[in-house]
Amino acid sequence: MTEQVKKKAPVRRRKEARPQELTAAALSLFVEKGFAATRLDEVAARAGVSKGTLYLYFDSKEALFLAVIREGIVPIIDEGRKLLVAHADDPVRMLREYLFGWWSLFGATELGGVPKLMTSEAQNFPEVAQYYLREVIQPGKALMQAVLDRGVAKGVFRPTDSALVTHILMAPLLHLALWRHSFAVCCQVPDMDPQAYLETYFDLVLKGLAAAPEGGV
């Protein structure tokens, strides 16, 4: 050991990307097995560290949960908002971007398991649920409601209770995400093509919202 041997290269420890690695590992395990059934030893192992290390970055299992949501989801909202303004003059196009964008940016990724996770655990972790409601659901709703209202103002959509309709319109997307993270995994379903599902759904919605009896896009 005349000089520092090159153990360091293969080891490559002590990064500051550690929290992200941990939240990423936690996300996939939480989504896969649920919060309660996920052991912190597993999370740490998947991130390539020990459980003690996990506690250097997060105070508790619940704090890790909150971080998973915060790091994983909140950035997506802003990204989605930016994509939307690109078509601000065409409500039908905006709605399409919203729904399909939600799916490709969120639902189809690993984050698509988060609605299942949040729904399951909302009652057990009210603070996380409130955070999610405030930072994710409500902004998302507001965004879609703006799209709908604009469509009505332009005479493209018929008037509706847009607060209710935002909920209703999100449901099939959420359902698809939940399905893929529950029954689709454990039962061998005769599979459901997301793209066909989305197209069929969007078609239904457009006809359901259309303003004029024989209106056309």
Residue 51 interacting partner from a copy of itself, DNA, none (CB closer than 5 to 8 Å by kind): DNA
Positions in 14-73 near a copy of itself (CB under 8 A): 32-34, 36-37
Our finding on whether 181 is near a copy of itself (CB under 8 A) is yes
Q: Which of 25, 31, 49, 111 binds DNA (CB under 7 A)?
A: 49
Burial class of residue 89, CB neighbours in 10 A (0-12, 13-18, 19+) = exposed
User: Closer CB to a copy of itself, residue 111 or residue 176?
Assistant: 176
Confirm if 54 and 43 have CB atoms less than 8 A apart: yes
Our finding on whether 217 is near a copy of itself (CB under 8 A) is no
Instruction: Return d(Cα 195, Cα 192) in angstroms, integer.
Output: 9
For residue 115 the two structure tokens come to 């609605």
Q: Which of 31, 32, 34, 38 binds DNA (CB under 7 A)?
A: 38
User: Which residue's entry shows tokens 């996770």?
Assistant: 117
Q: H or E stretch including 140?
A: helix 138-153
Neighbours of 78 (CB within 10 A): 10
Q: Which of 126, 142, 155, 159 binds a copy of itself (CB under 8 A)?
A: 126
**Residues of the shown chain interacting with DNA in the complex, contacts defined by CB under 7 A:** 4, 7-8, 11, 13-16, 18, 38-41, 44, 48-53, 55-56, 60-62
